[in-house]
């Protein structure tokens, strides 16, 4: 049956491809056939699939499939690389311009977001060194423009992003201290709470 599906992927209409791409029990050969099909939207549904096979996942990540960042963001956001921190580093380092074009996508992938419409499984695995880069490069209030017109959710409101950083499970004491002194009251409260939590956990180990 799977060979028959694989052989007929090229015959399928877009809704049929999407339906297959969503199926958690799809065998690897059929997943790969969809990944190599030209229909990009089906690739997105594959990237979201919790049953995605590692070989297909890595093909979707590859430049052979797509050189852009959006599909890679989706793979990270849906937890496809929870055990591979270098993928997070690659996404962050390789696509700095994505923070200007799609700040909501990037912040959702690395930190999660209360303003996004999908669950994020991958943000919990963001390495702490990437969290530091995000703060230092993108959201340090001492370096960015905090005028109200630049603080909408769409443009990546620094307060929202800093609150997400302060709540991140991989936050370390150094970054918590920075957040507790950042100058934004709501963020400073969260940063101080994390200092107390992290200090308590350290003393109990």
pLDDT at 153: 42
pLDDT at 146: 54
pLDDT at 152: 47
How confident is residue 161, by pLDDT bands cut at 50, 70 and 90? confident
pLDDT at 159: 84
As a whole-number percent, the residues of the chain with pLDDT over 70 amount to 89
Q: What is the 3-state secondary structure (H, E, C) of 77-120?
A: HCCCCCCCHHHHHHHHHHCCCHHHHCHHHHHHHHHCCCCCCCCC
Burial, 178: exposed, middle or buried (Cβ in 10 Å; 0-12, 13-18, 19+)? buried
pTM comes to 0.90
Is the pLDDT score of 177 beyond 70?
yes
Is the pLDDT score of 150 beyond 80?
no
Is the pLDDT score of 175 beyond 60?
yes
How confident is residue 84, by pLDDT bands cut at 50, 70 and 90? very high
């Amino acid at each position: 049956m799977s060979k028959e599906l694989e052989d007929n992927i090229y015959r399928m209409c877009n809704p049929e491809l999407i339906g297959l791409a969503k199926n958690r029990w799809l065998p690897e050969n059929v997943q790969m056939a969809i990944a190599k099909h030209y229909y990009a939207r089906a690739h997105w549904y594959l990237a979201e699939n919790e049953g995605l096979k590692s070989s297909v996942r890595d093909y979707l990540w590859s430049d052979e499939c797509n050189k852009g960042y959006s599909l890679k963001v989706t793979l990270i956001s849906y937890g496809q690389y929870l055990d591979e921190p270098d993928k997070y580093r690659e996404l962050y380092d390789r696509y700095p311009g994505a923070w200007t074009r799609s700040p909501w996508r990037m912040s959702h992938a690395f930190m999660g977001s209360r303003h996004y419409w999908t669950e994020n499984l991958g943000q919990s695995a963001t390495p702490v060194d990437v969290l530091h880069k995000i703060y230092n490069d993108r959201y340090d209030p001492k370096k960015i423009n905090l005028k109200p017109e630049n603080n909408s959710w769409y443009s990546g409101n620094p307060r929202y992003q800093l609150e997400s950083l302060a709540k991140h499970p991989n936050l370390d004491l150094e970054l918590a201290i920075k957040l507790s002194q950042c100058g934004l009251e709501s963020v400073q409260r969260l940063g101080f709470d994390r200092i107390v939590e992290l200090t308590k956990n350290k003393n109990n180990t």
